[in-house]
Structure 1
């Protein structure tokens, strides 16, 4: 299948990347999929849709079954894209429209619930997700639809638009803001209503301007970058105004630059993640897009999974007019580099150091209960990440869940409130935990560690963790992990006592962790119910990462941390934590009674804070 490159839209970005001099020497050539490999992966997507469709049809036929409305909408598009089945599409469109409030006098006119049938979820984004595939369905496949189906959809566009216009979300809510922008563009063009399309294009321009000024709000998310790409690739394929493809491509270029700059071992996003429902492995809806750009990423076997019905979006992007990142963008992931990017003007940029066998990244502040603000990766990419997870369940693996405000069941962890500073593979991280939020029977700071590695050390001694184990450690312990081409070492620098009780520190493996191939460094602040808890508890960690070929390399890394010189003091409500490793001194100063960054320095100089940079050189923004 032919592939139309974004040569024009990527030219400025390619020049900026070249000028940034990522490292000496030429970048390795990209190894694209062959036509046969691409066709095989497309066929796999179709098979996944076919496997999922019968279960969906049975659910739909059961009037009392609960089905996400986005699944119904996605099924309608998949019916046509995969099988050209107009009768099935009519069935699904009828079911979707039956859920919509079609009373123009109603305050919820145009709204579609998150789920059809009995539901405990009350998510105002239902209309956004349900409307996403309808513009492409009309624009690309209108003549293939039954006339009554096409007429019914066109008649309901004013209702969909009313719901979209009424649902105002902040531009930093990236996936929904972009989705709504694209839905308005494509629904407006399907209805030949320029005012609706104008709203969509204006909103999209606003998002691009916000990215230029502040960065992307939902940064480096394995789940929501996939959702963003669904929306943007649909817009790229089907927008109609002159110049619109070049405008949409600017957003796609930005996201793919971010993806490739954080891509580790050709397969997984490294660095800090804003929203990551897979605490250990960092997989999500982005994986399907990676599978068509990176030979080493297989198409995930998602079935049975209702999200499989959305794979038709990716099949559409695989058409002759689809978007694919340029070779210059893909080359970023193929050389060692440091990537820094803004996501909030009130906070420093996130930082990710990526090299061949190991990566280490960090971000300041909190995004939410599924963020991953401190993370390291070891090759191969199939290993779970090394990440800091404060939790109240004694189960920091991402499988302990709570119900959020909208009624969704999601994995959660306690907030880190981190202030960090990083240079290459050396990171000083300070946390300000809130024990009053630990309303369970446990409260711990955990650092997850991959089990399937050549070596895990506790103070230089190999630790056996493949069976349930609790290995006590002192409060200045150094833990090391060696992968096949890299190593990571962690030293505890500071842990406050909780209610005058010193923490219990240990290397731990339990049955659940072993099942997921992970152990952990556990700092138990409490192992009983906490009452009258304070709101602040300080923790500081020093983390180092480096290429490593053998145990001697790991020992060197551990020694460097064990012999680090520390500066830990509190004066006038400001906590200063500093660490000198070799010739590098990292220092953080932060308020003790609130989240406020006083300073972040490297060798006594404020840490650089570029907007969007590789190896300190700013690159083009959309």
Structure 2
């Protein structure tokens, strides 16, 4: 069914008269803002306008989703209608209007782009924009209505022509919401029904195969938003019920894997852009809002009635049944599917203070996953133990490059063939990949490790340099055109920062809990060129409040001088990013002899130093780790043990491993294997055993554990194409694979799980109990 501009405009006007979403069946009252929130939102909108626009046009690289968010907020509070019209016109100019194009009706992600690369642009922009006519249409003036009508009409074509696989969870659910909302907003029942059918199909699919974009800290937040928008705003009761069923399943999944000591989602992840911490700030805000842990400020998250309209309608708190899993039982063993193929399954053993998880196959739909993840003890800023194969020497996932398929900057690692066997706390796995001689500068396997741990090699403790700073590299130095180094002068540390690149920035940052209405200061003692001091404030949802508070300063010549940026934390602020940064357009060479963040009294005197100059001169280290030796990593009475059973270069020759200290900028070390150093062709492979244990607080208990692990016999062989590995520990684990063809030939010893169980926990088929109705559908 096609709709014309007149029809959309007619329906919008009719809906405005009737009060839009105030239909009797709507469970949420209409969003309202008190005076304080209006003031805060108005200040935010004014700040966004400055960041987004230059004159009457958007700045280059401004995102369409950000413009859509501006429209929603501005319409909701009636802020500066003339600016809202300009933003709508800017959005309209970002739509592909070529009727012969495959992306006709879709929307560019970035303003100024001439080629539409990421076809998800229409989805991310519309999921916010469509709330404006659906809820606040009575607040649109005639000019705004006309501009919005034009966007909606083209967007309808863009949405319906955008093909999305059901396994592409976050975009599939987003398209479902967009079709339902646009259909209901414009009276196009056929369009709304398309979205409802998609939602029902996803629930049927998930009941059988689990969530395909599994345990993604980046995209579970998007999934929760999509489903909450449907549950809170659809006028159809059956549709709201389906969305609530999906939310309940997703929250149970999160609760089952939630690693409380580290305040993060445990388990192996698909699509994770924070390789070291397995975190996503927006996802963390969701869990804070659910009351599962307190934010850094120690205050409760803002309630939905104190938030923006999008956050209000995109919020649906978890049930008590889901929350109950946070309390145990521990340990527990979780197995779940993440696709149709039998090898698309993950396992997760989670104790009180430790968790180990493995995937039976690699997630090939993205470069941002790993087949092994171990959470070891407490601390939200403590790196996890994970495994990856890498071709860029980017072991910690900090150097972003352009992803051709999306047009976005990402830290990309390799997608090897994976096979694994997990039984409780033991994982036996193998990984292999053909060297990409055109793109790889090296070919390596790496386990990332938390630096603040004890390290033992078999029964011998290792004395390692593991001092790290709470200030993190942001953006990270590339070691060539941008550099950060710590040295000592007259017994005191000095940080040297070099930026010789007019396209890349480099800097140091730290995030601090703050309180609105208090004054904070970032001070640096500098010698040399120019640099910027930033104090950026964020609310509980991790949204930047107002603009960036940047001050350009110059270091002393021949002697260090102190420079400061002092700011008042605005209303709603709970966190501040303190940042010493040489921007992407700046070049500089400076020496830093002090860097501190302070809470400041009205008089200007420092009341509290919240972060100081804690740098130490780096001392590089490398230790040989023979094949078959076990590296024990111990924190807080829990231990992770890693044994590389076998490793082979691209010629099939056996090679050894080594433990590396790469600078501790990310509070991490790595256990690594170099399979190739250049353009050598062939297939590299590695087989390893990983185990976790808790309750080892005493030295006697830890010593007994080490003896137990030392007695476990293991073997790994590679005979041409076939890799075989085994471990004699109760129970014995075995695997065999053709690493050339990527075939799993044998897997033995894993915890037995019913084949059809999509989410199985300690003998319970949780997927059937939560989504069983859709299995019969």
TM-score range, shorter chain: 0.7 to 0.9
**Inter-partner Cα distance in structure 1 for 2:419 and 2:705:** 23
Please point out which of 559, 572, 575 is paired with 2:707: 559
- 1:111 matched residue in structure 2: 106
Q: 1:508 to 1:593 in 2, by over 3 A?
A: same
Would you say the 8 A contact 1:66–1:119 is kept in 2? no
Would you say the 8 A contact 2:652–2:720 is kept in 1? no
**Inter-partner Cα distance in structure 1 for 2:354 and 2:150:** 54
Q: What is the CA distance between 1:366 and its match in structure 2?
A: 1.7
Q: 1:154 to 1:591 in 2, by over 3 A?
A: same
Q: What is the CA distance between 1:140 and its match in structure 2?
A: 1.5
- 1:517 matched residue in structure 2: 667
Deviations 1:306-360 (A, max 9, x none): xxxxx84663148xxx521111101112212211110122124211111211110
5 Å-filtered alignment, 1:128-139, equals: 128-139=123-134
**Inter-partner Cα distance in structure 2 for 1:471 and 1:47:** 57
5 Å-filtered alignment, 1:203-352, equals: 203-265=198-260, 267-284=263-280, 285-298=282-295, 312=308, 315-317=311-313, 322-335=315-328, 336=330, 337-346=332-341, 347-352=343-348
State which drifts further: 262-271 or 352-361.
262-271
Whether 1:579 and 2:577 are equivalent positions in the alignment is no
Deviations 1:158-191 (A, max 9, x none): 3211111111111001111111111000010000
- 2:356 matched residue in structure 1: 360
Would you say the 8 A contact 1:77–1:312 is kept in 2? no
**Inter-partner Cα distance in structure 1 for 2:428 and 2:438:** 25
5 Å-filtered alignment, 1:112-191, equals: 112-118=107-113, 122-191=117-186
Please point out which of 86, 89, 94 is paired with 2:89: 94
- 1:457 matched residue in structure 2: 456
**Inter-partner Cα distance in structure 2 for 1:88 and 1:555:** 68
Deviations 1:112-168 (A, max 9, x none): 111111467721111111111122221121112223323432344332111111111
Indicate the SS of the match to 1:418: strand
**Inter-partner Cα distance in structure 1 for 2:448 and 2:43:** 33
Would you say the 8 A contact 2:401–2:410 is kept in 1? yes
Q: What is the CA distance between 1:450 and its match in structure 2?
A: 0.4
Deviations 1:377-411 (A, max 9, x none): 11214211100021122231011333222322211
Indicate the SS of the match to 2:464: coil
Whether 1:470 and 2:469 are equivalent positions in the alignment is no
Please point out which of 490, 495, 514 is paired with 2:647: 495
Whether 1:601 and 2:748 are equivalent positions in the alignment is yes
Structure with bigger strand share is 2
**Inter-partner Cα distance in structure 2 for 1:135 and 1:357:** 43
- 2:25 matched residue in structure 1: none
**Inter-partner Cα distance in structure 2 for 1:275 and 1:236:** 25
Deviations 1:169-216 (A, max 9, x none): 110011111111110000100001101101111111111111112111
Length-normalised TM-score, structure 1: 0.83
**Inter-partner Cα distance in structure 1 for 2:437 and 2:231:** 44
Deviations 1:526-552 (A, max 9, x none): 3x3132x11x32211110111132444
Whether 1:544 and 2:691 are equivalent positions in the alignment is yes
Q: CA RMSD in A?
A: 3.0
Structure 1 stretches lacking a partner, 5+ long: 1-38, 302-310
- Asked which structure has the greater CA Rg, the reply is 2
**Inter-partner Cα distance in structure 2 for 1:45 and 1:447:** 45
Indicate the SS of the match to 1:161: helix
**Inter-partner Cα distance in structure 2 for 1:264 and 1:107:** 44
Indicate the SS of the match to 1:587: strand
**Inter-partner Cα distance in structure 2 for 1:578 and 1:607:** 21
Whether 1:530 and 2:526 are equivalent positions in the alignment is no
Q: 1:588 to 1:55 in 2, by over 3 A?
A: farther
Q: 1:551 to 1:449 in 2, by over 3 A?
A: farther
Q: What is the CA distance between 1:294 and its match in structure 2?
A: 3.5
Would you say the 8 A contact 2:736–2:747 is kept in 1? yes
**Inter-partner Cα distance in structure 1 for 2:62 and 2:184:** 29
5 Å-filtered alignment, 1:385-534, equals: 385-405=384-404, 406-436=406-436, 439-453=439-453, 455-460=454-459, 461-466=461-466, 467-499=619-651, 502-511=654-663, 514-526=664-676, 528-531=677-680, 533-534=681-682
Would you say the 8 A contact 1:504–1:525 is kept in 2? no
Q: What is the CA distance between 1:510 and its match in structure 2?
A: 1.2
Q: 1:562 to 1:51 in 2, by over 3 A?
A: farther
State which drifts further: 66-75 or 45-54.
45-54
Indicate the SS of the match to 1:165: helix
Q: 1:477 to 1:317 in 2, by over 3 A?
A: farther
Would you say the 8 A contact 2:96–2:108 is kept in 1? no
State which drifts further: 568-577 or 343-352.
568-577
Q: What is the CA distance between 1:481 and its match in structure 2?
A: 1.1
Indicate the SS of the match to 2:444: strand
**Inter-partner Cα distance in structure 2 for 1:334 and 1:82:** 41
**Inter-partner Cα distance in structure 1 for 2:259 and 2:42:** 29
Count of matched residue pairs: 563
Q: 1:271 to 1:458 in 2, by over 3 A?
A: same
Would you say the 8 A contact 2:52–2:62 is kept in 1? no
Q: What is the CA distance between 1:364 and its match in structure 2?
A: 1.8
- 2:493 matched residue in structure 1: none
Q: What is the CA distance between 1:61 and its match in structure 2?
A: 4.7
Indicate the SS of the match to 1:243: helix
**Inter-partner Cα distance in structure 2 for 1:199 and 1:192:** 13
**Inter-partner Cα distance in structure 2 for 1:250 and 1:539:** 42
**Inter-partner Cα distance in structure 1 for 2:43 and 2:376:** 31
Runs of 4+ that moved beyond 6 A = 42-48
Indicate the SS of the match to 1:446: strand
Q: 1:205 to 1:84 in 2, by over 3 A?
A: farther
**Inter-partner Cα distance in structure 2 for 1:407 and 1:171:** 22
Would you say the 8 A contact 1:376–1:386 is kept in 2? yes
